[in-house]
Amino acid sequence: MESCNTQLRNLFDMCYDYRQSQCILMMGQRGNYNDKIIDKALENKHKPIIIKISGILASDDVSAFQTIVWGISQKKGLEYKETSIQYSLEFLKENLSPSDKILIIIKDIEEFAHKTIKQVFLYTLFELIHTEICMLCILGITPNLNFVEMLEKRIRSRLSCQIVLVSPAAVEDEANQFAKDLGRMTVESREDKKLANIKQLKPIELMVFACFLKVIERNNPLTLHSAYGEFLKFMLKRPVILYNLDKFTFKMISKRLQKLKLFTIKKKCTILSYSELTATFDVETVIGAIRDQNIELSTAAHEWFNN
């Protein structure tokens, strides 16, 4: 893993110390080790504004770009009106300065190559690298080694990116470390194991999980119905973030959370959506981990969760 860390650290230094904006592609298997590599490479040195987005969760190019601009505006305390990509682009140019440090992390970036034929989101984002509006680093994470070949010709011709390969050795190191940690685990550390399992959830599963936590935080009866209600509130507050998550899909993900024994049935109801659930983990610890970003939600979801 060390070579990945070193390579990333050098690229971050070039971006934020020498003002050379970077486009980086991290290629390799999916997993939390990608986050650990990035965190270790940053080591609180540069402290950029970090915006995270998922290619799986974003519904289209416009909402994806708006999500990024909205995240930056929130971090800088600016008022942003969500409209077209062109307006959002002008907003960035007007409100960012050469001294601003921005890191945009795009998980499953290959998904944006499928969403539209013209790949407007990727084109607009990569074009920002050639401007001097700020110190910008775009870091795309993908398991697809052929990602560059998936890009439209006009994007490939302008794209200059650094590729960081996350080798199987790095994944093996992470697995070995996890095995060692399990070997040292005591009864008292079971909560830590549950926290680790929660961190392994997929982005869309974490979104559903966060909705259940919001119900608990409001001291309301914990049911599938009340959790889905929290999700609808999130969608009304942030209509730009479209997850395409209907009640059936929400229910399927909720069942998976129960299979993982994160929630169990406390009081059964004939209408399953109204069956009362209870959490099997320390709720305060997990909520604190989300607020401290030790459990990773998307930027928009994290802002919503903290309000």
pLDDT in tens, the chain (307 residues): 457 888 999 999 999 999 999 999 999 877 777 888 899 899 878 999 999 999 988 888 999 999 999 999 999 999 998 888 999 999 999 999 999 999 999 999 999 998 777 899 999 999 999 988 999 999 999 998 889 989 998 898 888 899 998 876 554 555 455 455 545 544 445 667 788 889 888 888 899 999 999 999 999 999 999 999 999 988 887 655 555 677 888 998 999 899 888 999 999 998 889 999 999 999 999 999 998 888 888 777 888 898 8
Contact (Cβ atoms closer than 8 angstroms) between residue 33 and residue 1 = yes
Q: Tell me which residue of 172, 175, 162, 174 sits closest to 27, measured CA to CA.
A: 162
**Phi, then psi, of 22 in degrees rounded to 5:** -125, 150
Structure tokens at 29: 């298997």
Using an 8 Å Cβ cutoff, are 200 and 217 in contact? no
Domain extents in the chain: 2-169, 187-306
CATH code, 2-169: 3.40.50.300
**Rounded CA separation 137/129 (Å):** 8
Q: Rounded CA gap, 273 and 258, in Å?
A: 13
* CA neighbours closer than 13 Å in the CB half-sphere of residue 280: 15
